[in-house]
Structure formats: C-alpha cells, structure tokens
Structure 1
Amino acid sequence: MTSVGVRPESGPVTPAPKGASRRYRVVWRWHFYAGLFVAPILVVLAVTGSIYLFKEPFEEWRYQDVRTLAAPVTAARPLAEQIAAAQRTHPGAGVLSVIPPSAPDRTTRVILMGTESGPFAQGISVYVDPGSLRVLGEIDDSATFMRVVRTVHGELLAGKAGDRIVETAACWALILAATGAYMWWRGPARRRAPRRGRPRLRRVHALTGVGAGAVVVFLIISGLPWSGVWGDAFQRLQDTTGSTSPSADAFPHTSTVPALSGDLSAEPDAKVPWAAELLPVPSSGDPGHGAHGPAAGVLQPGAIPVERALSSARPVLRDCRPADCEVKVLLPKDKEGVYTVVAAPRADPSASRTVHVDQYSGQVLVSFGWQEYGLLAKAVEQGIALHEGRRYGVVNLLVMLGACLALLTLVVTGVWMWWKRRPDGRAGAPARTGDRRTTWGVAAIMAVLGVLFPLAGLTMVAVLLLDRLVIRRVPALRRIF
C-alpha cells in the first residue's frame, strides 16, 4: 500500500502541493494507501473503545438489582455459608473466587467456574445477600454486553486471526501518524484555512491529527502489549531484562499441613468434627467431590474460615480503600494450598497487592505488590490504567474519549477527501515520483518501522509482492491502482 511503482493512468489526479518535494509525494502515497485499507478497522476500534470506557458505570447501572440491597445488612452470615448458597445454584461447579461486599448495602459476589473462563471472563457470577443467604441473581460474565464490546475491540470476534488483524491495523496507524505529521509540517495544511471545499477538509484532517495525535499514538502503543505478536515479543523483552510483574510461583504458596497422621482436631486452629478426624483430606480437584477443575473451592477439613483469612490479610491491604479497590479471595485448591487475597485498585495500579495466607494457621506467608514490579511492567500497568480512562478519574476518561472521537474524525475526513478527489474507476492514489533515490530513502525508513512492528513489515512485503507479481501484469488492476 505504498509507493509500489505502478505508473498511474491518465486522469484527474491532484498534483502534489506547490513547492512539495519528491519526498512529500512518496510519503503521501504511503499515507494514502495505509489509511485507505485500515480505515474500517480503525473505525471499529474507535467506536468500541469509546463504549468500553464507560464499562464500570454502565454495569453498575445495568446490574444494580443484583449488586445493591434495598437495606444495609446489620449481621452478615459466614462467607462459607454464602459460598454454599451460591454453589447450590450450580451443583458441582467449582468456586473461582469470592468478592466480599464493599459496603453494608452490597451483595457478595461468588464467581463459579462456567462453560467459558477465558481472558475476558472468569465464569458465572452469583450474587448473594450476606444477611439472608438469598441469591439475588447470576450473570454469565462471558456473555455480557461489555464482554462482547471488548472482544470486538481486541479480536473482531474472529479469535487469533482477528487479533492479528487488529494488531496490523494498530501498527499501520502509527505509520499513518508519522507520515501525517511529516505531511502537515511540509504541506499546505499549515496555511490559512480556506472557506470551503477539499482544502478546508484537508485542514480539519491535519489539525485534528496534530491536536490529538500524541494521545492517539499513546492509545495505540499502550494497547499493543495485549496483542499477539508484538505483545509476545515485548513480554520476552521483559523476561530477558527481568523487568516483569511478579509471578505467584516465585513466592511461597503452600500451607503447612499439620503432621498429625490425619488427626487434625489436635491442632488448635484446625478443629473438625470427631467423625472426620481420620478421614483422608480430599483435594479440591478429586473426582467425587463435585470438582470440575483444580480450583473447585472445597474447603479442607481443618481450614480456617474465609473471614479469618481475609482478616489476616487486611493489615497488609491498608492502601486498598473499599470505594476504589476490589478485594478478591481465592480459596485453597487442595490440602497444601493457601488462601490468596488479591487487591485490585481501579485507579492506581501501585496499590495492587497479592497476599498468601496459610489455610490452617491464618499466618500471612508472603505479600508482594508494586515494589516487586519491574520498570517495564510498571509502565505497562500505568499505561493500561490510562488507556482504559480510569487512572485520573473523569479527566482521564474524557481525554481518552476525545482521542477516540478524534480518530473517527481523522478516518471520516480522510475517506471523504479521497472520495471527492478519486477519478471514476480508479483508486485515485497520489502520483508516483520517478526519483528512485527518494523512493528508496523513504522505503528504508519504512523498513525500519516494519522491523519494529513485524505485522506491518509483513504486510509491506506482501503488498510489494502483490504489486510486482499481480497488479503490474493485470491491465484492469493497473487502471484502478
């Protein structure tokens, strides 16, 4: 989609701006083809991104009937009983995690293992009244509206192939930003705005790019760590430099099982009924105990209550304010597992923390958080919070929304300019320069960008081959391009 060397047919192709160099023509041609082919995907990304910015207020409104109680709870039942009430709605389903109420008028969220538990959904959320144990409702997290929006945003509902398409479009959008900035600096758009027509449209396009370009570029770069090819390469760079987020496997996560030949009743913190003293301690993943996976959430004989594990972790989570921080409890997966308490702040990633609590004694085994993050991992986490418009409240959200609207404006004005100038039956690409030195110079710069962004580089090569082997040899295609 470049200065592919096809000699344009005769037609009303707009000449380069007065005084523009040959280099301008080559850059314009790259900019034109890149924008023409990735425009539809950028529209999808901008629209879905704008919607997803409002995920939390939307879901708070949409699911208020199951998340909020009519009256505050004065005496809550034990979390173990609340978990059991949730499990009765799906007999045999494992418990992935429990999110205790953040306020007296909020429900307890018990997340059960569902048919799908991919990266964007954890399963089925069952909401329980902490006082009466009444189940107010359940939500399949894999089928919510915002889940669909995010899947479209990340992979166009096309799995791995869609992820690669989105990543390719994002990489080309960075090239569009670079070529567009050059064209604005060297082109006529910096002159006084004309009153009407395509020059005025071009000025709106250019000034929108200049005004919002930095934020749009940030949106793209902060989203690339989620992508398949570039994201995997970036993760390898983090691993190589040791600049990653902490792995739970790097810390102790095993409870000390009382060495009492199965007689757990002699352990002060592990009282169980007499009839169960000598029974083998089951693993939560054992068949016959209603488990469908390694995290079935079956409490072990002698395990402390969930409340006590949470209470042990609370002093470590002092930076996690209930109004802006979700606390999630993962139950031990077997007799040697631990309670894992995770604090996930909405705004400031530096307040995140993971705590392992011994399931028998309630002792905090380890606590790790922001201090253990590497530099690159910290940058990614802060970038994600900014990308999703939650780092600095409403201001952050409005800036990201403005960037999405600016991207839509760029696409609409760019396509509009093309539509107004295109000759009948032709693509209307900017004229190709015959200066090989200029062409090869710009191509070298594009090759560097292709190495930095591999999928963009692969598509560059594919288009050049398509031009050489197909377009130049088919007269009908030559007339179009």
Structure 2
Amino acid sequence: MSVDTPVRPSAGRAAPAPGRRYRAVWRWHFYAGLLVAPVLLVLAVTGSLYLFKDQYEEWRYKDLRTAAATASPRPLAEQIAAARTARPGAAVASVIPPGRPGRTTRVIFAGNAVGPFAPGVSVYVNPADARVLGSVDDSATLMRKVRTLHGELMAGTVGDRVVETAACWSLVLLGSGAYLYRRGPARRREAKRGRSRLRRVHAVTGVFAGVVIAFLVVSGLPWSGVWGEAFQRMATAAGSTPPDSDRFARQSTPPDKGRDLSQHPDAKVPWAAEERPVPASGHAGHGGAAGGTVGAAPVERALRAAAARAPHCPPAACEYKVLLPRGERGVYTVTVASRHDPADERTVHVDQYSGAVLGSYGWSEYGVLAKAVEQGIALHEGRRYGPLNTAVMLAACLALILLTVTGAGMWWKRRPSGGLGAPRRTGDRRTTLTVAAIMLVVGVLFPLAGVTMLAALLVDALLVRRVPALARRVG
C-alpha cells in the first residue's frame, strides 16, 4: 500500500484528475493509519498469541488436566460433589467430563467477575477417586488477559467500541492502499528510480496479505458490540439465525439462564443459536438448587443423549460441556463443540428428571448467514483446517504488524519539523465529493467508522481550516 508523493503539476497548470484523486485518497489513507495503527498493532500481536491458546494451556496446566487412566471412573455426581468442597457456596456453571482416558473432570464455578461471559473458577477432579487436584481462576490466566486485550483493550464497552472502530477503519486502509498501489505515480516511476525499502515492503505486504487481513476483520466483526448486534438482528429477521422453532418447540424459559443462552459464560453455544430460548423440564416439585445441581437423571444420561445426536463429534474428538439444571424447571444443556468443523457441533437440552431430550439442534437447522458466520469464526481462530489454517492466520497477523511498523516508519522519515506531514488536501470540489460519497457508503455499512469519519470532517471544517497555525501543522 504505497504512499508515494504525487507528481507536482507545473506552475499555472491544474493537476490532472487522477493526481487529484490520488492525493485525496492518500490523505484519507494517511489519517486512517494515524488513527488506528496503535490499536491494529495490539490486535495483531494478541491475535498471534491467542492462536496458540490450546497448546499453551495444555502445557501450562498439564498437571491438572491429566491423570492416570481408569477403567471405572467415579460417577460424575460424586466428582461434582467433591469439587464443591473446594468452592463451598459457589454455583456450578458447567462441567466438562473427560473425553478420553487419562483426562480429568473440570467443574467450572461462578467466579468473582460479573456480566456476560464472565470467567469462572475451574476445579479439576481425578475421575478415578473423585479427588480434587487443584483449581484455576480462569479470569486470571494469561490467555484470558490476551483475549480481553484483543477484544476490548481491557476497557470494557468503551474498549470494545474502540476495537470495532479500528477494525472498520482497517478496511478503509486496505481499500485505499490498494488504490494507491494500483494508480499512484510510484507504480509508473518504479522502473526508473526505485523506491525506499520501507515503501516497497509496505506495498508488497499489503498487496499479498490484504485479502486475508480483510477476511480476519470481517470474520471478527460478528463479535463486536454495534456491528455484531446489528448483524445478529438482521440475520434473525431474515430467519437465518435460530433453528426452526416449529421443529424444535420452545416450551418455556427456565429461570437459570434468562431468555436464552447468550449471557451464560460457559454455554459456548454456536453464534447461530445464542439467542434461542431454552426449553424447560416437564416435571416440577423435586427441588433443584438455585446454584445448579445434578437432577434426578444422572449427568451421564444427558451426555449419552448428546453423543447419540452428534455421531460425527465423539467425546474423544470434541469437547462436551454440561450446564447443570437450576431450579425445578431447569434442564441439562449439553454443548458439543468441535475443534475443527462447526458442522459437527450440537446443542442438546435434556429433561433433568426423565432424561428425555427436549431439544436438539445443530448445523442442519442453521440459516445461510449463520453457517457463514460459524465457518468464518472457525477460520478466524485458525482451527478449521488444522495447522495450515493456523499458519495462514499467523502470517496475516504478522503481515499486519509489518504494515503498521513500516507505515509508521515511512511517516517518521518524511515528517516535517513541527507538523504531521499529512498529504495536502486537493482543493478540487468534484474530487472531494467523489471520495466523500465513497466514504459515506463505508460509513453506512460500518456505523462506528461513519461516526468517527463525520467527527473528523467536522473538526477539519470547523477547527483546522479556521486556525491557520493548526492548518499548517495538521496539513
């Protein structure tokens, strides 16, 4: 994405239209980079690290996650009861049974953090004798901090909005950079005089990695606060998100999870099914603790029911997570998460008294948009096609780091004393309006980019142009 200085027109002659357009696009490219480069650098570094979350945590917590294999594990109810002794009074959020011999049972309790997706405290139990091996505060792990920094800069809602704004502006950077590379004078002069190493590396990196970086941005937007929620509403209105309610009746909503599973920190339901209401157990009057407890039907029965409905995702290859029933009408909710293919995932609701399946939905019930988002998320996280997918996503993150560093380096080398060194505005009304119309479309598609774009234009019109000293410094 080259940012070469455009050819200056000779005295008394107006710059040709392509030169004016080039300068106008270059100006937007410059300010977009200035605005979001630090955030993009953070996203690229944390994204690179988070690609290896599973490998890191398997190594870091190996002593808690592995145990001697046993042919006769203790009942899960007994293991859960043992875990409660390590966290007396805390509510059980979910249980992850061992998927294969030699693994421990992980019982996740509500932690001190509050709010949607708040991490809990994991207690690890040896299945052979129901002995507690230790616990981990999931809110304090390294990868949790990396994820929080990646998603919201450790600044809550404000950070989420900043990340979304930077992500949207990165698309402007990619598009304008491609235009500058294809149309800029540098491309025509390249053979005659060569370019600086920074400029050449910046341009080539943008050309070859731009498409993958754009995919990373777009596939990550469904998680964002403004754009993601709007997209979720649109998909729901189009009937492309929740499973078919006629085939999977929604009987009622149990009191433990509100109206859906989207606010449960350990539900891990697919994006497509986050807002689907949960059915209720049909038999009341047998208790059911507010903090979550084992129902009359054993947990193993719920797991077997889920495994029977996920034949392509056996426990040895996928993660089975059980949300215990809370209250008399609560249900077992079993989420089957595939490491690689979202099409193998399943969510099953089981009556806590009879063990009957009340609801079961998966890939075949998702709409087109829901399937696209699920596959995009798997690719974004580098897990869809194994090590190859991870390598491509890592290369894209490293390319984004290189683009940010080389862009900053070019600016640092050409900046004038006492000013930003921004490209001069074109002064041509037609060119300005053309570029503004394109940016308007971008602003409509990505609202936070549009808001910041409008703010930049207002500052330019009401402040920069009216203060000569500021105009000289800013450009």
Q: Is the 8 A contact 1:297 1:332 kept in 2?
A: yes
How is 1:321-336 mapped onto 2 (pairs within 5 angstroms)? 321-336=314-329
Aligned: 1:372 with 2:387: no
Identical positions, percent: 65
Q: Distance in 2 between matches of 1:355 and 1:23?
A: 56
**Residue 317 of structure 1 aligns to a residue in which SS?**
coil
Q: Is the 8 A contact 1:189 1:202 kept in 2?
A: no
> How many residues are aligned here?
435
Q: Distance in 1 between matches of 2:53 and 2:396?
A: 17
Residue 372 of structure 1 and its aligned partner are, at CA, apart by 1.1
Out of 49, 52, 72, which is 1:75 matched to?
72
Give the root-mean-square deviation of aligned CA atoms: 2.2
Deviations 1:313-370 (A, max 9, x none): 3211211133431001122212232222210111111111111222222222331111
Q: Is the 8 A contact 1:243 1:375 kept in 2?
A: yes
Out of 140, 147, 157, which is 1:150 matched to?
147
Aligned: 1:233 with 2:238: no
Q: Distance in 1 between matches of 2:131 and 2:189?
A: 68
Residue 146 of structure 1 and its aligned partner are, at CA, apart by 0.7
Aligned: 1:254 with 2:280: yes
Q: 1:43 to 1:193 in 2, by over 3 A?
A: same
Tell me: higher relative CO, structure 1 or 2? Use CA pairs within 8 A at least 6 residues apart: 1
Aligned: 1:57 with 2:55: yes
Q: More displaced, 185-194 or 374-383? A: 185-194
Q: Is the 8 A contact 1:117 1:123 kept in 2?
A: no
Aligned: 1:454 with 2:447: yes
Corresponding residue for residue 23 of structure 1: 21
Corresponding residue for residue 282 of structure 1: 287
Q: Distance in 2 between matches of 1:443 and 1:131?
A: 67
Q: 1:191 to 1:211 in 2, by over 3 A?
A: farther
Q: Is the 8 A contact 1:15 1:430 kept in 2?
A: no
TM-score (norm 1): 0.86
Q: What amino acid is aligned across from residue 283 of structure 2 in structure 1?
A: V
**Residue 86 of structure 2 aligns to a residue in which SS?**
coil
Residue 121 of structure 1 and its aligned partner are, at CA, apart by 4.3
Q: 1:372 to 1:311 in 2, by over 3 A?
A: same
Q: Distance in 2 between matches of 1:120 and 1:365?
A: 25
Aligned: 1:435 with 2:428: yes
TM-score (norm 2): 0.87
What are structure 1's unaligned runs of at least 5 residues? 1-12, 259-279, 286-295
Corresponding residue for residue 409 of structure 1: 402
Deviations 1:210-238 (A, max 9, x none): 10000000000011111111111111111
Q: Distance in 1 between matches of 2:441 and 2:395?
A: 30
Q: 1:442 to 1:313 in 2, by over 3 A?
A: closer
**Residue 115 of structure 1 aligns to a residue in which SS?**
coil
Corresponding residue for residue 266 of structure 2: none
Corresponding residue for residue 111 of structure 1: 108
Larger radius of gyration: 1
**Residue 422 of structure 2 aligns to a residue in which SS?**
coil
Q: More displaced, 470-479 or 443-452? A: 470-479
Aligned: 1:356 with 2:349: yes
Residue 480 of structure 1 and its aligned partner are, at CA, apart by 0.8
Residue 433 of structure 1 and its aligned partner are, at CA, apart by 1.6
Residue 97 of structure 1 and its aligned partner are, at CA, apart by 1.2
Deviations 1:250-279 (A, max 9, x none): 545233328xxxxxxxxxxxxxxxxxxxxx
Q: What amino acid is aligned across from residue 287 of structure 2 in structure 1?
A: P
Q: 1:37 to 1:198 in 2, by over 3 A?
A: farther
Q: Distance in 2 between matches of 1:345 and 1:298?
A: 26
Corresponding residue for residue 88 of structure 2: 91
Q: Distance in 1 between matches of 2:342 and 2:84?
A: 32
Q: Is the 8 A contact 2:244 2:365 kept in 1?
A: no
Q: What amino acid is aligned across from residue 73 of structure 1 in structure 2?
A: T
Q: 1:213 to 1:98 in 2, by over 3 A?
A: same
Q: Is the 8 A contact 1:17 1:188 kept in 2?
A: no
Q: Distance in 2 between matches of 1:203 and 1:113?
A: 52
Out of 362, 380, 390, which is 1:387 matched to?
380
Q: 1:131 to 1:460 in 2, by over 3 A?
A: same
Q: Is the 8 A contact 2:288 2:325 kept in 1?
A: no
